[in-house]
A and B are shown apart, each in its own frame.
Chain A
Amino acid sequence: MSLPSSVPVSWFLVLAALLFAIGIAGALTRRNGIGIFLSIELMLNAVNVALVGYSRLLGERTGQIMVLFVMAVAAAEAAVGLGLFIAVYRQRRTIDVNRLNLMRW
């Protein structure tokens, strides 16, 4: 079966770059811990798009398998990270990172 390929791969890559930048901006500006997490998920997804894009460009499936692993790691990260937030919330009644400043001098 012949599948369409009229969209240049570079478009996808540019899309990935933009998504990644949005993710960075979000991760750096959001104060809500969950918000930061969401932004990081965005960045991961941007990378996934890039990986699949290159996989398509090079005709090599390794990129897709990498995406699978990224998803697994993202799942693990979400589980542990959210667990951490719950623990922090129990202690401080907030997940505003501006108030989590125990690392201050």
Chain B
Amino acid sequence: MEAAIFLLFAVIALGSALMVVTHKSPVYATMSLVVTLFSLAVMFVLLGAPFIGALQVLVYAGAIVVLFLFVLMLLNISKEEHQQEGQTVHRWVALLGAGAFVGLLVPLLYRATQGRNAGVLTEEFVSIRAFARDLFTRYLLQFEIVGLLLLVAVVAATVVARKPPAAPSGASGTESPVSEVEP
């Protein structure tokens, strides 16, 4: 049963991932990414991390990808232009590299996990309460640092994307969406 679910969503995840990297329309690509993210949320649940799965749906699919879509709409980017001359070598090298990466990684993973089985999932491992306790005790400092990082990112994004005060060029961009959250 689980194997069937895994295989189904693995195929969906890989297929939509391929769509993400190949589809000419950025909007379609982004939507495919949403599909991938949903499939991976299922994977997290299968791995006994339902809270991570929920975060995946809420934060990733719900917030980050929506941000992407906002920007895409804002900039009104259409399909990619046709590949230029001389880019084929680059493509093939990149694909070959990716293949080599898989070729290196898969045997490694196989060897690393060979003969090792995951233990039985316990209530304690799955529980959000335990997760929260770990997060706010052992990893409190890291958590705070990440909070600070997010704050900095918000400020930075605001500064970077803000329309220059007296831009002389006619390249008057649209208002940045992040400027709405300017403190």
Please classify the interface of chain A as helix (H, G, I), strand (E, B), loop, or mixed, using the class held by over half of its residues: helix
Which residues of A have CB within 8 Å of B30? 34, 38
* Structural contact, B118 and A19, CB atoms closer than 8 A: no
Instruction: Report whether B20 and A42 are in contact in the complex, using a CB–CB cutoff of 8 Å.
Output: yes
Name the one of A1, A65, A75, A86 contacting B139, with C-beta atoms under 8 angstroms.
A65
Contacts A18-B14, A71-B60, A79-B157 given: A10-B146 contact, CB under 8 Å?
no
The interface size bin for chain B is: 35 or more
Instruction: Indicate if A57 sits at the interface (CB-CB under 8 A).
Output: yes
CA distance A7 to B102 in the complex (A): 21
Contact pick for B13, options A13, A15, A56, A96, CB 8 Å:
A15
Question: Which residue among A10, A28, A68, A83 has the maximum number of chain B CB atoms within 10 Å of its CB?
Answer: A83
Quick check: A90 and B173 within 8 Å, CB to CB? yes
Q: How far is the CB of B148 from chain A (nearest CB, A)?
A: 10
Given A71-B55, A82-B68, verify A24-B94 contact (CB < 8 Å). Answer: yes
Between A and B, 9 residue pairs with Cβ closer than 8 Å are A4-B1, A8-B118, A38-B29, A45-B36, A49-B43, A78-B67, A82-B161, A89-B75, A90-B171
Binding site for B on A (CB under 8 A): 1-15, 17-26, 28-32, 34-35, 37-39, 41-42, 45, 48-49, 52-53, 55-57, 59, 61-62, 64-65, 67-69, 71-80, 82-87, 89-93, 95-96, 98
When A and B form their complex, which 6 residue pairs have the shortest distance between CB atoms, in order from nearest? A26-B21, A76-B153, A90-B173, A83-B161, A28-B94, A83-B157
